Copies of this chain bind each other. A is one copy, B any other.
């Protein structure tokens, strides 16, 4: 009851809820990418984002809620930017697809951290249904983008008919993720280079 009324310094920064929220998500993503969800502590996110606990608690219900938002928004945006939109916009979807895979080792400059979606999916799928469904949804989006690219490739005569496009897309993702995992584990970008060669070559093998 005798709780003293503590005085607060006026906090020079202006209010900006949108930025506060996005700073939190950014910091959370970085820490989760580095240490996994459970290895990330809230105080680190907070100090990295320059946000206090109270502010965070206003925007998110807790650590889990932040984690979910990181999947839905941050990793989701990355997936859309890197896969969905380029493939949807491209006039030549097959060329675009090959280009993305070709940039694998360049995009994974910090290959020792691995793929955020993969890390989170594997860490949390067995432990938290919310994480599992959210990451699974992103894998579906990813696969859908590739399927659509292959379908348009068929329409343009670049891809053979009669293929099971869903299966082809799943294969590309599986192999790609597998290589990323090996690179992370080996602390070596060589598997990424192999992924580029292999997967581009594979796409070419889909020609009629």
Contact = CB atoms under 8 A, between A and B. Distances in A.
Interface of A: 1, 34-36, 38-39, 64, 112-114, 118-119, 121-128, 132, 135-136, 139, 167, 170-171, 173-179, 181-182, 184-187, 191, 194-195, 198
Copies of chain A in the complex = 4
15 contacts: A112-B125, A113-B126, A114-B125, A118-B181, A122-B185, A135-B185, A139-B185, A170-B194, A171-B198, A173-B178, A174-B179, A175-B178, A177-B181, A178-B178, A178-B179
Given A38-B39, A136-B186, A185-B136, A118 B127 contact: no
- Chain A interface helix/strand/loop/mixed: helix
Nearest to A183: B174
Given A119-B122, A127-B35, A181 B174 contact: yes
